[in-house]
Amino acid sequence: MSNLIEPHGGKGLTVCLLEGDAKKIPLSPRAKGDLIMIGNGGFSPLTGFMAKDDWKSVCDDFLLSDGTFWPVPVCLDASKADADGISVGEEIALVDPGNNEIMATMKVTEKYEMTEADKRYECEKVFMGEGTATAEEFWKIAEDDHPGVQMVMNQKEVNLAGPVKVLSEGEYPVKYKGIYHRPADARKIFEEKGWKEIAALQLRNPMHRSHEHLAKIAIEVCDGVYIHSLVGNLKPGDIPAEVRVKCIDALVKNYFVEDHVVQGGYPLDMRYAGPREALLHATFRQNYGCSRMIIGRDHAGVGDFYGMFEAQTIFDRIPYPSEPGKALLCKPLKIDWTFYCYKCDGMASLRTCPHSKEDRVLLSGTMLRKCLSEGTPIPDHFGREEVLEILREYYSGLTEKVEIKTHKAATGDDHKKCRKGNLPAFLSK
């Protein structure tokens, strides 16, 4: 028993320093991006990583446990050894393993095991497209060919849940100064411009003529377009964000009325979840102030896992909670497959062009990367010359090149494919 005077307040010393033996959990690249989006408001209304009831409800019904729409799990994984040393109610540090920077603190409210069966369940719910007849068919190729599935299956054994306080946004504010936006930044820009109806254009590839056409369609029906590029991690063979930003700059400067375009960047990793990721893109773009999300062919897809327009039709099937604030308000701007047509002598779509596949230049980021990587000629009207010059310079400096696999979405085969199956629980009743 101490003979010293008691600390003020009657609660002893209320120490709030996070130091000494404070538990530190390393962040995966995906969790790092998710953390920053929670911190900057991009993932509103999330205030931390998901508990198991939220994880399960999101997988099954596209809803948080409180009934708010949310399309993909946002979870923090930890090794069993690390998790065993953490008590519920304890505050821990979340660390970027690349530089050992403490990026956030988190109060652990729950920890739950993610078994192999749990991971497979999440993959089947989130990544399995409607065209996959059975889970067995899906798993024949998913573990080898789907990067999002690989991310989930490689997660550590335990998920930690709880609210966070984010201390750092990593390298993004400095590395992408003027491009990296918090939602409040984008909203301020739009309000200063007097915009009300804003369409977001999601980009993970350099802008080619099809992207340009989509953006210009959006500008015709909205006040402006927000060209919002992913500046987080991509899969091997994809083109780095700084190169894509230069391409957008060149395109906007030479081919757009700049008053109707804003370029921004966000820090997530791609999940390649196709339809589910399209919903995620619309959800956080609503937080950025966008009322419409441009959804074209095979949005956020990979390989042949999804139907060409499955990311459009999923918007017609999601739940819309009636309680104020809980439904997704950002609506899809659905645009058909676009291409350059020699006979039309301009950009067109399957809705407007009556000609054959042979008359069309089928535009695909995958095909563009394949041509550039292999040094093969790029078809006329595929991209703007100012953009292609930047890309050729980038590829000429590569010492190692990743093989780019084409798929039906890149070659034009099996278009208009939109298949049914694997319905979420709320549609299966």
- Distance (Å, whole) CA 342 – CA 216: 20
Angle at 212 between CA 206 and CA 215, to 5 degrees: 115
Q: Which residues are catalytic?
A: 204-205
Residue matched to tokens 């100012």: 386
- Distance (Å, whole) CA 314 – CA 131: 13
- Distance (Å, whole) CA 49 – CA 111: 11
Q: Which of 290, 275, 302, 287 minimizes the C-alpha distance to 365?
A: 302
Q: Which of 112, 140, 117, 116 minimizes the C-alpha distance to 128?
A: 140
Residues in the chain: 429
Check if the beta carbon of residue 416 is closer than 8 Å to that of residue 306. Answer: no
